[in-house]
Amino acid sequence: MSKTTLQVAMLPWFAMGHIIPYINISNKLAQRGHRIFFIMPINTIPKIDHLNLHPDLITFVPVTVPRVGGLPHGAETTADVSSELHPLIITAMDLTQPSIEAALKHLKPDFVFFDSAHWIPALARRLDIKSIHYSVVSPAVVAYLFGSERKLHEKQWSQSELMKQPPGYPASSIKLRSYEARAMVGLGVNEFGGGITFVERLSISLSDCDAISRKTCMEIEGPFCDYIETQFKKTVILAGPVVPDPPLAATLEERWEKWLGSFEPKTVIFCSFGSECILGKEQFQDLVLGLELSGMPFFAALKPPLGVEKIEHSLPVGFLERTQGRGIVYGGWVQQQLILAHPSVGCIVTHCGYGSLLEAMITECELVLMPQYGDQFINSRLMGGDLEVGVEIKTDEEDGSFTSEGVSKAIRLVMEVDSEVGKKVRANRAKLSEFLSRKSLDSSYIDSFIQKLQGLLGLTSI
């Protein structure tokens, strides 16, 4: 290998919403000849192996996740447990530190990319490895919540404080509402594995790493990236949108292709809330009733609501009969990228996970924003407020609940030809979509990303 070829170890939090973005950046780096060591729980590797597009350069490094009291036998990632047990997954991940240190000693990579394992920077320094905090969270979120202006080491967050932007925050419409700020306070109080809070983990990670990296573009979040760089006095290296290319041989399942193909172009509403977002039964029913009320064909890929085993048992009375032929509510995994790219799909109702938003933005789908927790609230304000590329569903200020009418109204706003709001967001979304879809954008960002990593090692690319 050339002396400018990088060797990178990847250690994402053991959650699919973090693992998959790490696979995506690994593929981008391997495509350019760099060696990747992907550290992963041993039984999770078969579940993600198909996403490895460069098996000659991306090697999975298995680790055994230690047993932790309260975790089901064999649980390795957040996908294996309910949300209240997620802190125990991070506790178990912390206990892999000796195994990971031994692996890094053996592999001797140039870099280790990490997000939630706050002990990585100190470990990496001992081994003369550079640590890169590569997070799947938007810079706008980090800038709003975790900048030094919040003085996290001096006091706990308060609800009223979190409803205000921190001093020096870039000009933006981003603010948290009452119920959102109330939920965020818990990040600074509740333990997130091993007696340390989520805020403490992230604060240590950002302060101790050698550089901060994000999957975004200066053209979209430049001011927030500059703010982070100033706040943490760290180099911020951007990788671009890092949206994965669908596998060349991938085709949409025949049943979905046939169903979607029966509708006119850009008329179907696709609703997806990711792999870990689960609604309560009442709000689940309000959501699907809102899709029905829109009067448009829809395909909802949703997890069954809390306490319900099968999706069919959670649907409102008479719903299946009323929507037969024009609506599907499906509780299993679907090929989201291929569905979004289908000619019949014209809109996505999304929970505003950062990865899902970027995937949607490179298609011609309009955005209806429905954030549920955490960083999703700020992601939604960024898209619906600052960039004005989507419409956020109206929710109750105090508890965050929404109505079926609110869901339907937001869909109609972005889809109806005569809607003034719709005209504006459609034009903005189309412009941003065209920008993000340029192949030259992806290539230029990844090339610059690699050059900056090489620069941290004192190397010069050929």
**Which sequence positions are flagged as catalytic?**
18, 115
Q: Are 54 and 79 in contact (CB under 8 A)?
A: no
Q: Are 192 and 90 in contact (CB under 8 A)?
A: yes
Spatial CA neighbour of 400 closest among 303, 299, 263, 282: 282
Q: What's the gap between Cα 245 and its chain centre?
A: 17
Cα separation, 96 vs 90, in Å, equals 10
Q: For tokens 């679907």, name the residue.
A: 334
Residues with Cβ within 8 Å of 250's Cβ and at least 6 positions away in sequence, in order, are 335, 338
Read off the DSSP letter of residue 400: -
Cα separation, 142 vs 317, in Å, equals 43
Cα dihedral 228, 229, 234, 240 in deg (nearest 10): 80
Q: For tokens 């100190």, name the residue.
A: 122
Helices and strands counted in the chain (H then E) = 19, 13
CA geometry: angle 365, 368, 369, nearest 5 deg: 130
Burial 313-327 (b: 16+ CB within 10 A, else e): ebbeeebeeebeebb
Structure tokens at 67: 């047993």
Cβ atoms < 10 Å from Cβ of 289:
20
Quickly list DSSP for 377-392: HHHHHIIIIIS--EEE
